[in-house]
Amino acid sequence: SSTRLLKGKTVLITAGPTREKIDPVRFISNHSSGKMGYAIAEEAKRQGAHVVLVSGPVQLASPHGIEVIKVESAEEMYKAVLEHFDHADVVIKTAAVADYRPKTTYAHKVKKQEGDTMLELERTKDILFELGQRKTNQLLIGFAAETNNVADYARKKLEKKNADMIVANNVKTEGAGFGTDTNIVTLYKRDGTVLEWPIMSKSAVAEKIIEEVTSLLKEMGRN
Ligand code: PMT
C-alpha cells in the first residue's frame, strides 16, 4: 500500500553477531549474517521510519538512508543501544549477542603449549533485559533463537525480559535462522496471542513483523 506505516517513528534495530576477543587474532562469535535484522531495517525505512541500525560485523552493505552504527562486542552494542534508546519508539533486537566473553583479553597472541587448555568466560550484559527494565513507552521486540522447546523458552523470554513481543525461530529447522535468505518464525505477544508463519523470505518476514509492530503501536494508542 502507499500509506507509510511508521512515518514519524524512530525505530532502533540491532543485527548481526557480536565478537568477543580472546587475543588480537581470535574471538568468540556465532553464525548470524545480519540478513534478518537488515531486512527489518530496510522495511522500517520503507514504511517511513527514522531507522537507527546497530550492527555487529557482517558482510552486508549499509542500507541507503539508514543510520548504521557499527559495533563489535556485546559491550559496544550495549552502549550504542542505550545511547539511542530514549529517542526510540520501537526497538527490535535481532542481533545474536554473545552471552559470554573471555574473562581476559590478551594484548598479545596467545602461544600454543603442550596439552589442553581452558578459556575462562564471564557473562556479558543482557541488553534486552536492561531495556525491559528501563523502558518508558518504547515498544520492545526481542528475538529468540532456540533449538528445542521453542514455545516454552519464547514465553519465558517475553516475561523475564519485559518485552512486548518475541519473534522465535527454531534455528535447527531447514530454511530458518542463521545465514539463510528465508526464515520460519512464530510470534508471541503479551496478550497470549501466537502467530505461526510459514517459511518466507527474510524480507517478507520483515514486512509482516513491521505490520505487526504497527498494529501493536495502534493498540497502545501510540500511532
Ligand atoms: O542474522 P541472520 O543470519 O539473518 O540470522 C537471524 C537470527 C537467527 C540471528 C535471528 O533471527 C535471531 O534469532 N536473533 C536472536 C539471536 C539470539 O541471540 O537469540 P537469543 O535467544 O540468544 O537472545 C534472545 C534475545 O535477547 C535477542 O533479542 C537478543 O538480541 C537479546 N540478547 C541476548 C543476549 C544478550 N547478552 N543481550 C541481548 O540483548
Query: How far apart, in whole angstroms, are the C-alpha atoms of residue 180 and residue 121?
Result: 29
Instruction: State which CATH number among 3.40.120.10, 3.30.420.40, 3.40.50.620, 3.40.50.10300 fits the domain covering 10-106+120-219.
Output: 3.40.50.10300
Neighbours of 213 (CB within 10 A): 26
pLDDT for the residue 135: 96
pLDDT for the residue 132: 98
Q: For the complex shown, is ipTM > 0.95?
A: yes
| Residues within 6 Å of ligand 1 by CB | 14, 32-37, 74, 93-97, 99, 124, 126-128, 142-145, 157, 169, 171, 177-179
Place of cell 533486537: 93
Query: How far apart, in whole angstroms, are the C-alpha atoms of residue 95 and residue 76?
Result: 13
Q: What is the pTM of this model?
A: 0.97
What's the Rg (C-alpha) of the chain?
18
- Give me the residue spans of the domains in the chain: 10-106+120-219
Distance 65 CA to ligand 1 centre (A): 24
Q: What is the pLDDT of residues 38-53, one digit of tens each?
A: 999 999 999 999 999 9
17 in Cβ contact with 31 (< 8 Å): yes
Query: Which residue type, as a one-letter code, is found at position 151?
Result: A
Q: What is the pLDDT of residues 71-117, one digit of tens each?
A: 999 999 999 999 999 999 999 999 999 999 999 999 999 999 999 99
- Residue 2 scores a pLDDT above 70: no
Q: What is the pLDDT of residues 167-204, one digit of tens each?
A: 999 999 999 999 999 999 999 999 999 999 999 999 99
